[in-house]
Chain A
Amino acid sequence: MRKLIQALPLWFMLPAGICVAVFYVIPVLLTFVFSFTTMGADTGILGNRYVLSETALVRLRDTDLDPMLVQRLGEKAFIFDKAGLEALAGSAVSPATVREIERRLAGKVYRSEKRLFADLKRLKNRPRSFTERKTIARAVKRTVRDREFASARELRAALSELGIHPRKHELRTILDLTNTSWRWTLSNYRELVSSQFSGKILANTAFYVALTLVFNVGFALALALMTFYLPQGQAKFFRAVWLIPRISPSVIYVLLWKWFTYDSGFMSYFLGFVGVPAQNFLLEYPWTFVVIINGMVGASMGLIIFSSAMHAIPKPLLYASQVDGAYPMQQVLRIILPQLRWPILFITCYQTMSLLTSFEYILLTTAGGPGFYTTEVWALYAFHSALSNYFGNFRYGYGATLSVVLVIFGIALSLLYLRFFNFRKLVVDPPIEN
């Protein structure tokens, strides 16, 4: 019991420690590891995988392998062995036909569909329709083409089922050229530097972050100053209103903006009175709305921080300036803003980091479009490369490489925060143990 109690810190830290280590710290490291691989949807994530794809067959033809062997690798066969007959019994083929096939064709192997169909027509209970013949063919069809094998043994077993028995050195060549597992590489980083898209994406990102930051921090500051001079009740109301976008799920917030800007939505309706034709404003002015949508969410955080910092300014300072005859504008410029230096710096850094790395609102708003990479930013590009694109060629390795840039940036800025907070003060030694 004493021992258990002495280990109390361990037990208290362990659950959080395991979760954070496995799902937070290890992914940070893995991002770096994956960035040096060719991993993608076509290679799988785990070790070896063999696929006799069209490209693999073309490459095999160029080797010194026996051309007959290569041709047979790409072929299909119809085999009436035990497995084939079982599949047949489970299919929609009429039982009488199945029974006759079991009696007369058991053990037979056909290399072409034509010859199989010819023999099927000779049966007494022959299949009535072309569809039924096709069903039979499908049930007994065997091929290694385009199938995935998790190990060399599996591939060899499938080959011998087809009656293909390559010699040892032949098998080695086949395995070599059909292996689609990922490899270590530096090409992701090379591509990152040389790709024609990198520049465009980088420019987009800089544009987006700079503009949204100005909007976001500027708005937060203006709102905080305005609410500071309002009566308590009103100030509270406006702060609550501006917190709504932050508190509501991103999907709903963006849904509402889509309605606001679409061609028979709110904007089109009201601007119609002054002669602006109805249009989908989101698609016409994508950047404007990407910035506004993100900026309005971000403004609330600055608003709260700035407001509480303003209320922390010693009241006598403000009263004194009023007595001395300062206009509110002078009070703002000379007394309040200088006091807000640190909060402003903090919010600016914090927002820079979250704007650089979060892509949720852009994904929902324009998904990087309209058109080609119009509003695609770095974080969204990483997401698109690795996890979601129209072509389905998910490139995990390249996505990880793009993320590495963000991760390094995140670590650097997070370390900077350690200096912002007065860290020493936070780790006071507990008096009980001393």
Chain B
Amino acid sequence: MNARRAPWLLTMLLVMVSLPILILYTWLFVDSVSVSAPGSIWPKAFTLKNWRFLFETIEGHASIWRVTFNTLVFALCTVTVVIGTSVTAGYALSRLKFPFRAQFLGGVLILHAFPSISLIVAIFLMLRLLGLYDTLAGVILVKASLEIPFGIWVMKGFYDSVPWEIEMAGIQDGASRFQVWRRLILPQVQPAIAALAIFSFIAAWSEFILPLVLAPSSETQLLSVYLAGLLTDDYLSDYGLLKAVGLFYILPVMVFYLFTQDKLMNIYSGATKG
């Protein structure tokens, strides 16, 4: 067939179907810094008034800085818990011998595939019982726990690809298993730790349902819940303001995405290929 023209047609077709996404995100940026005439979508003048939420609190809503601080604490703590637990458990499941290892691995695999969001009612009641309801600590522990099976799975995959010879050599030289792990193996899987950290940071930063249900009050509010509150507020159909808040919120995610795209793609496909 006409091999030359085919790619052109394909490109056109792809641009067509991808157009909605391109439009959505282009106008996210455009509308946040411009005004357009009513009934029109084209920017008329440059403005920064949509960004006023950075300096003044929107009436009836929490302060943006408070909420941003909460979100940052939430995301960083979640990353810490996920990394701390997955790095060790992944190693144990990949390299150490202990009773019920196969069962543990099977359990991790099942939980990794299990749709955790269907547990939301039980988790809510459980946090109420534990007195962790409406605290950041509570949401952090829940979010991290739901991410851990995935984290263990990714880490185990990476540990599996480290050659056994490194550990053998370490043991031969008289190091203990712990020292071997700490000194020889951990440096080998550093890229994996970085990838997992970025992935869980984005996942936590974007999380919506868990904070909505488990930490709704204004002291513990996260950016996602804050923005959803603005969105459902009937008095605020000011899309310029909404998009400015949205852009502010999505910025860290986009920065990570632009600079670490390949790594993230790997983890997305790697996680499902097993």
Q: Does A251 contact B (CB under 8 A)?
A: yes
Number of B residues near A (Cβ < 8 Å) is 103
Q: Does B54 contact A (CB under 8 A)?
A: no
Stretch at the interface among A51-59, A105-113, A160-168, A382-390: A382-390
- Contact with B20, one of A260, A379, A407 (Cβ below 8 angstroms): A260
The answer to whether A379 touches B122 (Cβ under 8 A) is no
Q: Does B11 contact A (CB under 8 A)?
A: yes
Whole-angstrom CA separation of A433 from B120 in the bound complex: 42
Q: Does A27 contact B (CB under 8 A)?
A: yes
The answer to whether B109 touches A423 (Cβ under 8 A) is yes
- Contact with A19, one of B41, B91, B148 (Cβ below 8 angstroms): B148
- Contact with A249, one of B104, B178, B206 (Cβ below 8 angstroms): B206
Instruction: Say whether, besides A22-B145, A241-B22, A250-B208, A358 and B115 are in contact (CB < 8 Å).
Output: yes
Could you tell me the distance in whole angstroms from the C-beta of A352 to the nearest C-beta in chain B? 10
Stretch at the interface among B56-64, B189-197, B249-257: B249-257
The answer to whether A245 touches B274 (Cβ under 8 A) is no
Q: A12-B92, A251-B231, A301-B272 are known contacts; what are 8 more A-B pairs with Cβ within 8 Å?
A: A13-B98, A23-B123, A238-B18, A252-B246, A359-B117, A396-B121, A410-B115, A432-B177
The answer to whether A15 touches B242 (Cβ under 8 A) is no
The answer to whether B272 touches A350 (Cβ under 8 A) is yes
Contact partners of A8 in chain B: CB under 8 A: 92, 96, 177-178
The answer to whether A417 touches B109 (Cβ under 8 A) is yes
Whole-angstrom CA separation of A260 from B243 in the bound complex: 12
The answer to whether A229 touches B176 (Cβ under 8 A) is no
The answer to whether A19 touches B144 (Cβ under 8 A) is yes
- Contact with B126, one of A30, A262, A379, A411 (Cβ below 8 angstroms): A30
Could you tell me the distance in whole angstroms from the C-beta of B21 to the nearest C-beta in chain A? 6
The answer to whether A418 touches B115 (Cβ under 8 A) is no
The answer to whether B142 touches A23 (Cβ under 8 A) is yes
Contact partners of B22 in chain A: CB under 8 A: 241
The answer to whether A251 touches B224 (Cβ under 8 A) is yes
Q: Does A175 contact B (CB under 8 A)?
A: no
The answer to whether A387 touches B213 (Cβ under 8 A) is yes
Q: List 15 A-B contacts (CB under 8 A).
A: A12-B89, A16-B89, A19-B144, A24-B149, A28-B114, A34-B122, A252-B28, A252-B246, A255-B243, A259-B239, A301-B272, A328-B6, A358-B115, A414-B110, A423-B105
Q: Does B113 contact A (CB under 8 A)?
A: yes
Q: Does A258 contact B (CB under 8 A)?
A: yes
Number of A residues near B (Cβ < 8 Å) is 108
Contact partners of A251 in chain B: CB under 8 A: 208, 224, 227-228, 231, 246, 249
Q: Does A17 contact B (CB under 8 A)?
A: yes
Could you tell me the distance in whole angstroms from the C-beta of A50 to the nearest C-beta in chain B? 19
- Contact with A30, one of B24, B117, B122, B141 (Cβ below 8 angstroms): B122
Closest to B142 in A: A23
The answer to whether B149 touches A20 (Cβ under 8 A) is yes
Q: Does B111 contact A (CB under 8 A)?
A: yes
- Per-residue A-contact encoding for B201-233, CB less than 8 Å = 1, 0 else: 010011011000100000000011001100100
Whole-angstrom CA separation of A354 from B249 in the bound complex: 25
Top 8 A-B residue pairs of the complex, sorted by shortest distance between their CB atoms: A23-B145, A357-B115, A9-B98, A249-B206, A16-B89, A12-B92, A16-B85, A406-B118
User: Chain A's interface: helix, strand, loop or mixed, by majority?
Assistant: helix
Which residue numbers of B lie inside 8 Å of A, CB to CB? 1, 6-7, 10-11, 13-14, 17-18, 20-25, 27-28, 31, 38-41, 81, 84-86, 88-89, 91-93, 95-98, 101-102, 104-106, 109-111, 113-126, 128-129, 141-142, 144-146, 148-149, 152, 164, 167-168, 171, 176-178, 202, 205-206, 208-209, 213, 223-224, 227-228, 231, 237, 239, 242-243, 246, 249-250, 253-254, 257, 261, 264-265, 268-269, 272-274
Contact partners of A358 in chain B: CB under 8 A: 115, 117
- Contact with A16, one of B10, B88, B97, B105 (Cβ below 8 angstroms): B88
The answer to whether A269 touches B39 (Cβ under 8 A) is yes
The answer to whether B110 touches A227 (Cβ under 8 A) is no
Could you tell me the distance in whole angstroms from the C-beta of A17 to the nearest C-beta in chain B? 7
Most buried by A among B81, B98, B141, B257: B98
The answer to whether B265 touches A403 (Cβ under 8 A) is no
The answer to whether B118 touches A244 (Cβ under 8 A) is no
Could you tell me the distance in whole angstroms from the C-beta of B56 to the nearest C-beta in chain A? 21
Whole-angstrom CA separation of A272 from B196 in the bound complex: 47
Whole-angstrom CA separation of A227 from B253 in the bound complex: 25
Whole-angstrom CA separation of A265 from B146 in the bound complex: 37
Q: Does A242 contact B (CB under 8 A)?
A: yes
Whole-angstrom CA separation of A137 from B93 in the bound complex: 68
Whole-angstrom CA separation of A301 from B89 in the bound complex: 27
- Contact with A403, one of B39, B118, B164, B209 (Cβ below 8 angstroms): B118
Closest to B202 in A: A247
Instruction: Say whether, besides A8-B177, A226-B14, A387-B124, A410 and B118 are in contact (CB < 8 Å).
Output: yes
Instruction: Say whether, besides A20-B145, A249-B250, A251-B231, A304 and B114 are in contact (CB < 8 Å).
Output: no
- Contact with A5, one of B114, B177, B209 (Cβ below 8 angstroms): B177
Could you tell me the distance in whole angstroms from the C-beta of A248 to the nearest C-beta in chain B? 6
Contact partners of B122 in chain A: CB under 8 A: 27-28, 30-31, 34, 400, 403
Closest to A225 in B: B10
Q: Does A336 contact B (CB under 8 A)?
A: no
Instruction: Say whether, besides A252-B28, A413-B113, A386 and B7 are in contact (CB < 8 Å).
Output: no
Instruction: Say whether, besides A229-B6, A238-B14, A386 and B27 are in contact (CB < 8 Å).
Output: no
The answer to whether B274 touches A244 (Cβ under 8 A) is no
The answer to whether B116 touches A24 (Cβ under 8 A) is yes
Contact partners of A346 in chain B: CB under 8 A: 272
The answer to whether A415 touches B206 (Cβ under 8 A) is no
The answer to whether A403 touches B119 (Cβ under 8 A) is yes
Most buried by B among A256, A304, A357, A431: A256
